[in-house]
Amino acid sequence: MNTTQQTARVGLFFLLGVALIWVTFETLSDGKFFEEHQHKLVARFNDLRQLKVGDEVRLAGVRVGSVQATRLAGRQAEAVLQIDPTVAIANDSTATIEMAGLISGNYISIDMGSIGAPALADGAEIRTVETPDLNTLMADIGGLGKQLQSSLGSFSAALNGDPSKGGGILQKLDKLVTENSERVNATMTNLQQITDKINRGDGTLGKLVNDPKLHDEMLATVDEIKAAASQAKEFVANAEGVMDQIKSGKGTLGTLVYDQKAADDIRASLANIRSVSDKLAKGEGTLGKLINDPGLYDSAQVTIKKVDRTLDGLNDSGPITAVGIVANALF
């Protein structure tokens, strides 16, 4: 092979290599050899857990950056986030540490924040929310398991019980069934007979189950009950309307209940009535004397007798002037 051919092959091979290096670079780094200037945000947590440099930062699930550094900041831990400068993170967005999977580490998840909120500036601190990690959850589940085990132990003890004290629920139940087996059998036989009768349509329950006429009647009854209920509902609605009117002080009853002036008038009237009745009881005034004084009654009776006699005289004495007769009778 001459030198020219050898050189050509080496040149071709080298160019192929360079092309493949370029393809690899474009595929794996999206054509960015040097990192562009990116916004930095600081997220403070009580515990960064397994978060490490290079882990993803996702906004609503979309990768927008990565964790540039992790460090201690006082009694907290701080993660410095590199964010794509074309992505605006709202200043009310919150960052949380999420698990990407059981074996694939963690990532920082940022929510969208509210619409119209201003974007966080370069170097600003983003709000954070602590979320329980897998270890905490596993510890909780472990505690739950222990409680469950304890509960199951108690349940099992209750079921099995202490044999010296007659055993647990299961033993007592077994004993109960064994001792009452004849009664249970009799009860079951009765139940069997009852269900047989129902199936045959015997008795009220059987007819109710099997007779379509009874079924129709029951339906009609139900309809009537529904109609009655409807009327009752209407009545209640009317009553509610009346109550509303009363409450709003409309009508006589409403005025009576809610109008202060009417109440005062009624109170004054009652006081007057009581005053009059007291006077009547004491025999004061004309009506009181009329009720309480027996002399007035006697006088009235005498007067009526005289009038009666006068009228009788009129009938017997002929045409005498009415004035003369009345005067004669009276005086």
Partner 1 sequence: MKQLNAIFEGVGSVVQLFLRSASYAGSLPRQWSRFIEQCYLIGYTTLPIVAILSFFIGTVLALEAGYAMEGFGAKEFIGSLVGLSMARELGPMMTAVLLAGRVGSAITAELASMTVYQEIDALKTMNIQAAKILVLPRLAAVLVMMPVLIVIANIVGWFGGSVVARYVSYVGISPEAYFAALRHFTKFKDVINGVEKAEVFGFVVVLVCCDIGLNTRGGPREIGAAVTRAVVVSLILILVLDYFVTKILL
Residues that bind partner 1 (CB under 8 A): 3, 6-7, 9-10, 13-14, 16-18, 20-21, 23-25, 27-29, 33, 102-104
Separation between Cα atoms, residue 124 and residue 81, nearest integer Å:
10
Minimum distance of partner 1 from residue 4's CB (angstroms): 10
Chain centroid to Cα 161, Å, comes to: 42
Minimum distance of partner 1 from residue 15's CB (angstroms): 9
Separation between Cα atoms, residue 329 and residue 307, nearest integer Å:
8
Minimum distance of partner 1 from residue 104's CB (angstroms): 7
Residues found in the chain? 331
Separation between Cα atoms, residue 199 and residue 201, nearest integer Å:
5
Across-strand partners of 39?
83
Minimum distance of partner 1 from residue 27's CB (angstroms): 7
Separation between Cα atoms, residue 144 and residue 150, nearest integer Å:
10
Minimum distance of partner 1 from residue 1's CB (angstroms): 8
Characterize 210-233 residue by residue with b for buried, 16 or more Cβ atoms within 10 angstroms of its Cβ, and e for exposed: eeeeeeeeeeeeeeeeeeeeeeee
Minimum distance of partner 1 from residue 110's CB (angstroms): 19
Minimum distance of partner 1 from residue 55's CB (angstroms): 12
Task: Tell the residue number behind the tokens 């009545």, with chain if given.
Answer: 235
Sort 95 into a burial class: Cβ within 10 Å, 0-12 / 13-18 / 19+: buried
Strands (E), 114-268: 125-128
For residue 133, the 8-state DSSP code is -
Instruction: Pick the closer one to partner 1 by CB: 21 or 228.
Output: 21
Instruction: Pick the closer one to partner 1 by CB: 24 or 149.
Output: 24
Q: Which two tokens stand for residue 108?
A: 């920082």
Instruction: Pick the closer one to partner 1 by CB: 66 or 93.
Output: 66
Instruction: Pick the closer one to partner 1 by CB: 25 or 297.
Output: 25
Instruction: Pick the closer one to partner 1 by CB: 28 or 323.
Output: 28
Minimum distance of partner 1 from residue 100's CB (angstroms): 10
Residue whose C-alpha is closest to residue 308's, from 289, 327, 329? 329
190 three-state secondary structure: helix
Residue type, 162: D
Instruction: Pick the closer one to partner 1 by CB: 16 or 239.
Output: 16
Separation between Cα atoms, residue 112 and residue 42, nearest integer Å:
17
Instruction: Pick the closer one to partner 1 by CB: 28 or 72.
Output: 28
Instruction: Report the first-to-last Cα separation within the chain, whole angstroms.
Output: 184
Minimum distance of partner 1 from residue 131's CB (angstroms): 23
